[in-house]
């Protein structure tokens, strides 16, 4: 299939636990033949969310990636950043799929 699937997942409230969860989600998406796009997993490698300008730049880049994908999958309670990603997806008429346990 090789569809690009955007993974919207909380990060800042538990970076270690959330990164581990996103790695598992990405592995599952890959196992189903799709390509996960999970900026919250890799942007923190060089951007610091505690610096407002860097957080904003990360959100801008994430939203640019959203529009390249076939759908967005939402995991957990949406943060403000995730809500922004969801709104971009909806504005582009992209499917927004709230995964089990998400509100």
For the chain, the domains span 4-98
**Which positions ≥6 away from 49 have C-beta within 8 Å?**
11, 12, 55, 58
Element (H, E) at 17: helix 15-31
pLDDT tens column, 14-30: 999 999 999 999 999 99
Give the pLDDT band (50/70/90) at residue 1.
confident
pTM for the full predicted model:
0.93
pLDDT averaged over the chain? 94
User: How many other CB atoms are found less than 10 A from the CB of residue 34?
Assistant: 19
Which homologous superfamily does the CATH classification assign to the domain defined by 4-98? Hypothetical protein PA1492 (3.40.50.10400)
């Amino acid at each position: 299939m090789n569809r690009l699937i955007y993974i919207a997942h909380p990060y800042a409230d538990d970076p270690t636990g959330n990164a581990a969860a996103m790695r598992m989600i990405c592995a599952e998406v890959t196992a189903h033949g799709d390509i996960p796009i999970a900026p919250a997993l890799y942007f923190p490698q060089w951007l610091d969310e505690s610096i407002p300008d860097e957080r904003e730049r990360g959100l801008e880049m994430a939203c640019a990636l959203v529009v390249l994908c076939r759908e967005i999958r939402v995991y957990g309670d949406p943060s403000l950043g995730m809500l922004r990603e969801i709104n971009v997806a909806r504005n582009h008429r992209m499917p927004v799929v709230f995964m089990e346990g998400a509100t």
